[in-house]
Structure formats: structure tokens, C-alpha cells
């Protein structure tokens, strides 16, 4: 009898486990965004493939960093622009970052760059959506899930057209569209807005600025995504906005960690995978390892300006070469620009840096970075203080967050001289407070109940197992702006109050009048 | 050379691991709340003790359910009321639940019961705080952490006095004080208020009701916690409110799961451990197992009204005995009241039910419950449909959430007849939709990246490792109500707008006047 009960219990356990284990043979459609965005999403895609999921990657023929792999299938689609068009656009952006702009125009230039880049992507997306052969093939493939970076809209439109649950993989979207779409409250009183230069601790005038920028952001969102809205509405044959569409996403995998971001309200369908890119370190190649080891007690400085900016104008490069000649550390620099005649002996120029592996090396003393989130998380993860030179996009904000935590120094690429750079490097390497603060931050960052990659895999498989995450979708999606903020209710209650007050006043005046009328009569009597 | 590098890396890894492993010999002060609150907190306390932490439990001498254990030390403190005073208070509450109250007075009665209970606890807390010998002993013990249920304030006041980081373990606090204190947004447009009878999907009038109840709740909070505020201010010798004090908590371990709760904004320092109480199942005792097995294909019904209500007036009990006589299932009922002469053969009365183990048994067909969160989570966890009889507190709300998910039927204890009960049991057992919905809900609930108990242990040890969780504390704590909602900024901007408009109008009128003056002159010329 007892044995039977145990067998039943074992059966129940195995049945439960069958729901909790990996989904065998899940079919996942992936729509990535090129550039550094792809570098971290690739980690999840690789892991999913290794866990037995069948992956199809949709890649435009002009792709720069997204390459095929034997782990998954790649479907290349043609776009009405060439790789050189795209390269020209990237080059225009790349050159621009070393040119100083008049004050206050930075945001507009950033927006212009972004709109220029996304416009091209909208054209590419249109070519994909109206590629009937390919779309028919995708429909027939019966995917269970779409994984995409909502920075570009094509993935979400395809997910809607194919009725697929969606997983979003991102750090954030321009003008906070991700937070708006996820119905996530962002009080402007302590959640700093993009490019505002604010932290979460603001004085009155900073809060005024932040509040105004909230309004500007909303307007910007409308302008920036209007072409996406138009494309989505036309393709789906109903009046939709991109914001509405991404609101249907099942899970938001956000490359967020509160050692770097400011604490703020979040939603239950957000999972935080900040630092996902520094999970796995590989050994350095022999020549790099030898160069690093040869640095002795002084150690090394790692220098890169991100996946898009590998070179710089010679006059800027000269400043760096001069500065590096003056420091005792060895420098590994990702640089593909023209090489001057006398490169200091302690400098090794490389076309591509194993950034994470170098920062994880015990000899790493400082990290010169443009302040992209990948680099910053790798710096925090390995506890390496930073000297930062923000170039564009969110980098100014990122760099600001690192500076105020006392783990790095922000410099301006326009004002840099070899003296300023040497002094900053000297400070982050030899003023022990930077290293101490960074080690503390690093310990907190690395202390988590589950590794970011495992968490990302878990939620992806969860959505496949349950065909979405409907239980995490807030009812706020059913409300319009007025309703969400209870403004209609407040209006109604004010009306009721006014009516009550008027009625009471009328009654009182009526009573008073009656009393007044009576008294003269009495007098007359 | 390479070997050396590997050794270094191994060293670094071990160093990192030393921060991630359990804190050896952590000293934890625990201030629990009696009753069912203790039953789930005990799971965490036991686990912490088993992981090598030194635990001291502070327990009033009148405690009902909190018993000593060989796993941890217990410090009993005297209170100026006797166990019989406390029992009388509980008995008053217990009797009251079977008496029908006039409509709309339910909330007030709930509040009265709560205030009566907490008033006694404030007196008890005062006795503890002013017990100088004990407080001196606690100070000297140099704890690293305080674990408490903020439902009662004593823990938080002690944590403040001893400057200890605090972990809160709770399902929620009366009038949403936990959410207010944690600076967690709760838009009344879709977050239903306590006892409002609303869900997250409300029509206009329900939203009006919810909005008004938000105001009522705020006022209620002030009244309900005024004695706590007074005690805290007096003891800490500064003007504080209890809400302010609990705002300093490091981590909120919330017995929340969104298969049961409505999705809503949350904060980064909240960890969700709903269902922590159904992690470990034990085998049934021989006689219980035999009774359960003997139920055959019809299976069993589990019936309990919670840890406080083990009996009921005979006329109410008669209804249940009659109903159970008419159903084919066997019933296990936690009942300590007077036993009538003819108890149906299929009914087993017990003083204490192994509720979780019974619900986990494959023969469990239905669960008759008062709708406490422990029972509800156990029901969801094991996928057993419910018939619910809410008695007091949050039970009405809980039961409502289960009903609308189609996994249970809510009945009123006042209107119950044997026919109604038999019909409800028949429905949840034989209408397959209840079981199917419950199995779906159960699958989602049980599918999580980390077990609730492990998550609770992780965050508790995290706070010990890092002496708090400062990086998760939102800056909203530094703002007052006006600032948080940007009302001062809006006021300022409105003023600026008015001034600008007036200035522009003045300028225009000045210009106009000048023009008008000139023209007559011209005419005169």
C-alpha cells in the first residue's frame, strides 16, 4: 500500500518535472539588431541552440556583425540598400563623434543620427514584410516564439502577424518607449530622463528639467516611431502604434543591474540580465598573454571605443599615443586607424580586443572606454576602474552613473590632452578609493541568485512552455492615459463635489431668504 | 607561464566564491508574528539555522504557535497581559466570524478586530523595548541582521535602535502600508484596494470606488498605526512614523505570486516567495494514509478553516456534517468543536491537519478553505480546486481572486446550507473545467527559476554579506508627497506660464495702446 503511494508520488513528480525541464525541440525565430546589440543576444541564442532548440535567425544581407553559425539556421533577406550605404551611414556617425557640436544641439544630433539609422531599417523591414515567399515560409515553419530586440520594429510586427509570443532582449529603447509600452511607472521626480545629465537625486531645478524632458521625450517618441507606426498599420491592416504592439510582449529581458542603474519601479514581466556578457571568460591567445604578463607589477590598461569606432582622426590618436608613452602600464588598444612612426613600446594595437578576457585578467589596472553598457558591465564584473570618453547615444548617461559611484573618471573627447589622460589614468590606478569602490560594486553585481544567462534561458523556455506569460500582463494595458492616471475619476468626483456644494449653498440661501422674508412680515405684524 | 595564469585565475575564482557562498556564523535576530504568519517564516528560520547561522528568536511569553527548537535559541520576554487575555481576544474574533454583520460594516469590524489585536501587541512591544536588561543583551550580541514580519512594529523599532539591516517577511500589511513604505506605485486605476471587491479590470464606477478607498486606506493607515508611531517616537527619541521606519528595510520577501495576485508595479528590493509553504511534503501518518487510500476512486476532500478557527457553533457544524454525509468522497476535517452523535463514516475529524501533505496526495479532489493565503498557495501548488468560505481579514479578497480564475467557488458562511455545499463540491470535483484551469494555474505557479525558500535564503544572506542592499533603495525616499508626484514642479511651471502669458498680453496691449495713441495724433497732423 505504502509502496504504491510512493510510486504514485514519483509519477506525479516526474509529470511535474516534465513541465519544468527544457522544451525539447522548441522552434524559435530570432530577429536581432546588428552591432553591439547582437553581441549579447548571441549569447542567449547560442545557449538556446545548445539546449536543443531549433533556431532561425532573420538577417538582412547587409549585416555587419551578425554571421551564420553551425548552431542555428540563418535566413538572409534582401534589402533595398547596399552594405556601402549602411557603411556610409555608420561612417558619418563615426566621424561626427570627434567633432564638437554647439551646446544644446547634442540631443538633436543624437536623434538625427538615430532617425537616420532607423529610417534605413524601416526600409529594410518593409522589404522583409512584403517578401511574400519568405513570409509564407515563416508562417509554415510554426515557430513557438519570437526573440527580438525591440530597438527595431520588424520583429514585433512579424510576431503580431504570425501570432507568436515575444521575448524582448534589450538594454532600453530610445525615449523610454520600452517603459511606456510595458506600463512601467517612471516618476520624473526621481527617475532621470535620457541625456538630462540628472541622477536619481535631483534638486528643484533639476526636477523641473527632468519633468520638461519627460514631455519632450513623449513628443520625440511620436516623431521617431511615426514611420514604424505607419508601416505596422499598413502591413497589419489596422490602426496600430508600435508602442501598442510591443506592449503585447511576454517578457522583457533587460540588460539592467542596479549596481549601475538607479533603483526605480519595475514590472513583474521584466527580468534583469545586466552583466550577461561577462559570464564566460576564455584564455588569452599566447602572444596577448605574453604581452600582458610582461607588464610586471604595473599591469595593463585596456582601451577600446566600442564595436563601431575602431579608429579616430590622426590628431586625436596622437594624444593617446603621447599619453601612453608616459605611463608605466602596458596598453592594449583596439585601433585600426593610421599608425604613426613611433608607437610607444608599451602599446599593442589590435583589430579586435578580447575585452572581457583582458578585463578579467588580474593584471588589468584600468579600462579606457566610450561608456557602452557592454564594456561598463564587463568593467564592473571584473572590478576594473574606468576612464571614460562618451561618444554618442546613451554613453553620456552611462558614464555619469559610473563617475558618481566613484569608480571611474569621465573625460571629454573634445578637450582631451595627453596630460589630462595621464592624470586620469594615474588617479584611477593609484588612488586606492577607485579600486576599493569598484571592488565593492563588483561584489554586489556578481552576487545574484541565478546567472543572467540562465535567467534569460529560463524565461525564454517558460514562454514556450506556457505559450506566453499572460499572468504577468498588467491590466493597465486596457486603460487609456486619462483612465490610467484616474483623471476621469478625479474630474467626476470634483463635479460631484461642486454639485453638492452648489446644492448645499442654494439650499442655505433659500433657507436664509425664507427666514429674511418672514422676519419683515413679522415686523409688519 | 600559462600554469601560473591559471593558478591566478583559480585564486580569483575562489576569492569571488568566498563572497558568494553562505555567510558562516551569521548572527540573525528574528522577531516573528504569532499565528499563521509564523508558520511560513519558520521555514526560512529553520533553513537559515541548518545553513549554520546563529538564530535568536524573540518571543512573548504568551505565544500560541511559536515554540522553541533545538535549531535556534529562543528568548522569551514578559508582557503585561496573560495568555488568557490573548486567547479571549482571539476567541472574540473567532466567534465573530460566524455572526452576520449589517452590510458595509464589514470593513469597520475588520479594522476594529485588527486594532484590538495590534493594541495588545503595542503593549507587548513596549514591555520589550523598555526591558533594559534584555535590550542591553541584544545590543551586546552584535547581530548582523534582523528578520521580521512588519505586520507588528516591534522588530523594526529594535532594528532601528540596534542599527541592523532588516529583512521583511510578509504577504502584505493592512491598508497597503508595505507598498507605501517601499515607495511602490499602486495606481488605483488597476490595482484593487483591500476589501473593495474589485479586480484589476474595473468599470468606471468600480474605479471611482477604488479611488475613494485609496483615500480611506491612507486615513485608516494613519489611525491604525498612530500608537505605533507614538511608541517608536518615544523610544527612539525623535519624531518618526512607522511608515518611515519600515522604509529603511533592505529587502521585502513578499509571499506573492502572480498566478494569484494581479500583476502590478513592483520595486527592485522586493523578492517574491509566494508558495514558499508548499515546497516540502512529508509522508502521511499510517492511519491518515489508510483513511485516504480507502477513499477509492472518489478521493478525498480536505477541510480546514485555518490556524485560528478550529471549531464553530454546533448549528453551523451540523450543516457540514449533513453535507458530508451526502457526498461519495472521504473528508478530512480539522475540527475541535463538539462532536454530534452520528458523524458520517466518511468523515475523519482531526485536531491538526497535515494540509500540505494531504493536498499533495493524488487522491485530493477538493479543498474547503477559509481562503487564507497559506492554504490557497498549497491548493494552487498541488492543483486542487477549492470551495471557499472567507471569514475575516484579507480572505474575502483572496477568495475573489481564486473564483475569477475559475479554479474555485466562493460561498458565504452565513448563507450556507448542506445543499449549497454539496452542489459546490460536486461542481468543483465533477465539472472538469475547474480541475483543468487549476492544473494550468498550478503549472505556471510551480514553474520558477529558483525555489521560493532558496530565494528567501539567498536574499537574507545577501544582506548579511553586504550589510544591507543600499543599491536597491530608491531615491524616492528622499522626496515628500508633493515632490514625488512633481506637484511642486507642475505648480511652478503653471506659474511661469501664467507670468509669460500675462507679460505677453501686457506687451500686446501696450503696443496696441501706443498704436492707438499715435493714430489720432496723425489724424490731428
Residue B16 has pLDDT above 60, yes or no: no
Using a CB–CB cutoff of 8 Å, tell me whether B405 touches chain A.
Answer: no
pLDDT at B388: 97
pLDDT at B18: 41
Q: Are residues B239 and B120 in the same domain?
A: yes
Dmax (CA) of chain A: 120
Instruction: List the single residue in A263, A266, A488 with the smallest CB-CB distance to B473.
Output: A263
Reported as a pLDDT band with limits 50, 70 and 90, residue A194 is confident
For the segment A497-513, the average pLDDT, to the nearest whole number, is: 93
Measure in Å the smallest separation between the Cα of A74 and chain B Cα atoms.
30
Name the nearest CA neighbour of A298 among A353, A358, A366. Answer: A366
A23 or B206: which carries more pLDDT confidence? B206
Cβ atoms of A365 and A301 within 8 Å: the answer is yes
For the segment B68-81, the average pLDDT, to the nearest whole number, is: 90
pLDDT at A309: 79
Cell matching residue A426: 594615474
Q: Is B77 helix (H, G, I), strand (E, B) or coil?
A: strand
Strand order in B54-60's β-sheet? B73-77, B54-60, B27-31, B145-148, B166-170, B251-254, B270-272
Residue A9 has pLDDT above 60, yes or no: no
Q: Are residues A403 and A328 in the same domain?
A: yes
In a domain, A489, yes or no: no
Using a CB–CB cutoff of 8 Å, tell me whether B21 touches chain A.
Answer: no
Q: Is A386 helix (H, G, I), strand (E, B) or coil?
A: strand
Which B residues in the span 143-202 are in contact with A, Cβ-Cβ below 8 Å?
A: 184-185, 187-190, 199-201
Cell matching residue B265: 508595479
DSSP annotation of B72: B
B386 or B194: which carries more pLDDT confidence? B386
* CA–CA dist B270, A24 (Å, integer): 33
| Backbone φ and ψ of A242, nearest 5° | -65, -35
- Please report how the helices A154-162 and A106-129 are oriented relative to each other, as an axis angle in degrees rounded to 10: 40
Q: Are residues B499 and B468 in the same domain?
A: no
Average pLDDT, chain B: 89
pLDDT at B6: 52
Reported as a pLDDT band with limits 50, 70 and 90, residue B203 is very high
In a domain, A111, yes or no: yes
Using a CB–CB cutoff of 8 Å, tell me whether B490 touches chain A.
Answer: yes
Measure in Å the smallest separation between the Cα of A484 and chain B Cα atoms.
5
Reported as a pLDDT band with limits 50, 70 and 90, residue B21 is very low
Mutation target among A11, A189, A459 for the B interface, most CBs of B within 10 A: A189
CATH number at residue A47: 3.40.50.2000
In a domain, B303, yes or no: yes
Measure in Å the smallest separation between the Cα of B399 and chain A Cα atoms.
17
Q: To which H or E segment does residue A110 belong? A: helix A106-129
Residue B330 β-bridge partners: B300
For the segment A7-18, the average pLDDT, to the nearest whole number, is: 46
Cell matching residue A325: 608613452
Using a CB–CB cutoff of 8 Å, tell me whether A492 touches chain B.
Answer: yes
Cβ atoms of A243 and A226 within 8 Å: the answer is no
Measure in Å the smallest separation between the Cα of B148 and chain A Cα atoms.
22
**DSSP output for A111-147:** HHHHHHHHHHHHHHHHHHHT-HHHHHHHHHH--SEEE
Reported as a pLDDT band with limits 50, 70 and 90, residue A515 is confident
Inter-CA distances, A482 with A175, A485, B204, B213, B390, Å: 21, 5, 12, 19, 35
Inter-CA distances, A370 with A304, A308, A310, A415, B473, Å: 7, 11, 11, 15, 28
pLDDT at A455: 97
B68 or A138: which carries more pLDDT confidence? A138
B433 or A223: which carries more pLDDT confidence? B433
Q: Is B54 helix (H, G, I), strand (E, B) or coil?
A: strand
B263 or B523: which carries more pLDDT confidence? B263
Q: Are residues B311 and B183 in the same domain?
A: no
Q: Are residues A160 and A32 in the same domain?
A: yes
**Partners of residue A19 in chain B, C-beta under 8 Å:** 443, 446-447
Q: Are residues A249 and A165 in the same domain?
A: yes
Residue B17 has pLDDT above 60, yes or no: no
Instruction: List the single residue in B185, B188, B449 with the smallest CB-CB distance to A455.
Output: B449
Contacts of residue B429, defined as CB under 8 A and 6 or more positions apart, other chains included, come to B299, B329, B365, B366, B385
The string of pLDDT tens digits covering residues B467-501 is: 999 999 999 999 999 999 999 999 999 999 999 99
* CA–CA dist B318, B340 (Å, integer): 8
Q: Are residues A351 and A432 in the same domain?
A: yes
Place of cell 549579447: A40
B29 or B95: which carries more pLDDT confidence? B29
Cβ atoms of B375 and B369 within 8 Å: the answer is yes
Residue B395 has pLDDT above 50, yes or no: yes
For the segment A161-173, the average pLDDT, to the nearest whole number, is: 95
**Cβ of A187 and B187 within 8 Å?**
no
pLDDT at A51: 95
In a domain, A370, yes or no: yes
In a domain, B154, yes or no: yes
B20 or A324: which carries more pLDDT confidence? A324
Q: Is B415 helix (H, G, I), strand (E, B) or coil?
A: coil
pLDDT at A103: 66
Q: Are residues B290 and B269 in the same domain?
A: no
Residue B268 has pLDDT above 50, yes or no: yes
Residue A102 has pLDDT above 80, yes or no: no
pTM attached to this predicted model: 0.91
Residue B518 has pLDDT above 90, yes or no: no
How many structural domains compose chain A? Answer: 2
**Cβ of A207 and B489 within 8 Å?**
yes
Cβ atoms of B274 and B254 within 8 Å: the answer is yes
pLDDT at A24: 61
Residue A18 has pLDDT above 60, yes or no: no
**DSSP output for B154-165:** HHHHHHHHHT--
Using a CB–CB cutoff of 8 Å, tell me whether A450 touches chain B.
Answer: yes
Cβ atoms of B62 and B79 within 8 Å: the answer is yes
Q: Tell me the residue length of chain B.
A: 525
Which of the residue ranges A84-98, B161-175, B198-212, B258-272 would you say has the lowest mean pLDDT? A84-98
**DSSP output for A240-256:** --HHHHHTT-SEEEE--
Q: Are residues B429 and B463 in the same domain?
A: no
pLDDT at B464: 97
Which of the residue ranges A228-242, A249-263, A369-383, B90-104 would you say has the lowest mean pLDDT? B90-104
Measure in Å the smallest separation between the Cα of B501 and chain A Cα atoms.
18
CB pairs under 8 A between A and B: 194
pLDDT at B62: 86
Residue B361, CB-side half-sphere exposure with 13 Å CA sphere: 31
In a domain, A492, yes or no: no
Inter-CA distances, B348 with A24, A345, A472, B93, B334, Å: 45, 87, 40, 26, 9
**DSSP output for A7-38:** HHHHHHHHHHHHHHSPPTT-EEEEE--STHHH
Cβ atoms of B326 and B302 within 8 Å: the answer is no
In a domain, A517, yes or no: no
Q: Which residue of B has its CA nearest to A281?
A: B9
* CA–CA dist B18, B21 (Å, integer): 6
A89 or B164: which carries more pLDDT confidence? B164
Using a CB–CB cutoff of 8 Å, tell me whether A262 touches chain B.
Answer: yes
Q: Are residues B59 and B134 in the same domain?
A: yes
Average pLDDT, chain A: 89
Reported as a pLDDT band with limits 50, 70 and 90, residue A20 is very low
DSSP annotation of B467: T
Locate the DSSP E strands across A324-372.
Answer: 330-334, 347-350, 364-369
In a domain, A486, yes or no: no
- Strand B27-31, strand B54-60: pairing: parallel
Q: Are residues A274 and A351 in the same domain?
A: no
**Cβ of B9 and A293 within 8 Å?**
no
Q: Are residues B366 and B465 in the same domain?
A: no
| Backbone φ and ψ of B333, nearest 5° | -125, 125
User: B42: domain range?
Assistant: 23-278+451-473
Amino acid at each position: 500500500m505504502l509502496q504504491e503511494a510512493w510510486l504514485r508520488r514519483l509519477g506525479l513528480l516526474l509529470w511535474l518535472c516534465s513541465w519544468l525541464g527544457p522544451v525539447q525541440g522548441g522552434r524559435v525565430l530570432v530577429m536581432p539588431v546588428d552591432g553591439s546589440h547582437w553581441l549579447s543576444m548571441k549569447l542567449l541564442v547560442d545557449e538556446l541552440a545548445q539546449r536543443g532548440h531549433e533556431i532561425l535567425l532573420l538577417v538582412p544581407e547587409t549585416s555587419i556583425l551578425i554571421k551564420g553559425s553551425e548552431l542555428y539556421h540563418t535566413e538572409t533577406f534582401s534589402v533595398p540598400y547596399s552594405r556601402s550605404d549602411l557603411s556610409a551611414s555608420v561612417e558619418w556617425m563615426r566621424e561626427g563623434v570627434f567633432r564638437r557640436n554647439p551646446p544644446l544641439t547634442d540631443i538633436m544630433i543624437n536623434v538625427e543620427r538615430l532617425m537616420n539609422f532607423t529610417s534605413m531599417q524601416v526600409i529594410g523591414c518593409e522589404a522583409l514584410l512584403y517578401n511574400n515567399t519568405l513570409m509564407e515560409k515563416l508562417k509554415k515553419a510554426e515557430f513557438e516564439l519570437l526573440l527580438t530586440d525591440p530597438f527595431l520594429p520588424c520583429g514585433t510586427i512579424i510576431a503580431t502577424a504570425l501570432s507568436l509570443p515575444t521575448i524582448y532582449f534589450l538594454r532600453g529603447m530610445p525615449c523610454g518607449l520600452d517603459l511606456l509600452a510595458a506600463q512601467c511607472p517612471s516618476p520624473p521626480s526621481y527617475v532621470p530622463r535620457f541625456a538630462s545629465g540628472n541622477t536619481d537625486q535631483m534638486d528643484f531645478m533639476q526636477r523641473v528639467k527632468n519633468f520638461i524632458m519627460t514631455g519632450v521625450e513623449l513628443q520625440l517618441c511620436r516623431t521617431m516611431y511615426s514611420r514604424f507606426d505607419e508601416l505596422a498599420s499598413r502591413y497589419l491592416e489596422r490602426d496600430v502604434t508600435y508602442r501598442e504592439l510591443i506592449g503585447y510582449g511576454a517578457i522583457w529581458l533587460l540588460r539592467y543591474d542596479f549596481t549601475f542603474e538607479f533603483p526605480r519601479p519595475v514590472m513583474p514581466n521584466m527580468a534583469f540580465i545586466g552583466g550577461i556578457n561577462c559570464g564566460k571568460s576564455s584564455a588569452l591567445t599566447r602572444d596577448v598573454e605574453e604581452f600582458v604578463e610582461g607588464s610586471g607589477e604595473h599591469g595593463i590598461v585596456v582601451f577600446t571605443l566600442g564595436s563601431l569606432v575602431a579608429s579616430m582622426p590622426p590628431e586625436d590618436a596622437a594624444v593617446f599615443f603621447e599619453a601612453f608613452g608616459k605611463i608605466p602600464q602596458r596598453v592594449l588598444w583596439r585601433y585600426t586607424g593610421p599608425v604613426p612612426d613611433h608607437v610607444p613600446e608599451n602599446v599593442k594595437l589590435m583589430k579586435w580586443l578580447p575585452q572581457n578576457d583582458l578585463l578579467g585578467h588580474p593584471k588589468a589596472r584600468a579600462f579606457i572606454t566610450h561608456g557602452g553598457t557592454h564594456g561598463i558591465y564587463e568593467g564592473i564584473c571584473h572590478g576594473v576602474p574606468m576612464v571614460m570618453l562618451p561618444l554618442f547615444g546613451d554613453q553620456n548617461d552611462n558614464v555619469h552613473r559610473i563617475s558618481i559611484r566613484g569608480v571611474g573618471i569621465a573625460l571629454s573627447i573634445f578637450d582631451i590632452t595627453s596630460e589630462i589622460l595621464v592624470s586620469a589614468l594615474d588617479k584611477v590606478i593609484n588612488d586606492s578609493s577607485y579600486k576599493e569602490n569598484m571592488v565593492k560594486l563588483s561584489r554586489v553585481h556578481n552576487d545574484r541568485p541565478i546567472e543572467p544567462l540562465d535567467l534569460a534561458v529560463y524565461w525564454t523556455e517558460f514562454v514556450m512552455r506556457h505559450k506566453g506569460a499572460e499572468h504577468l500582463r498588467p491590466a493597465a494595458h486596457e486603460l487609456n492615459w486619462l483612465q490610467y492616471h484616474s483623471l476621469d475619476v478625479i474630474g467626476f468626483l470634483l463635479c460631484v463635489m461642486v454639485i453638492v456644494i452648489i446644492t448645499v449653498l442654494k439650499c442655505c440661501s433659500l433657507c436664509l431668504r425664507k427666514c429674511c422674508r418672514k422676519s419683515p412680515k413679522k415686523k409688519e405684524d
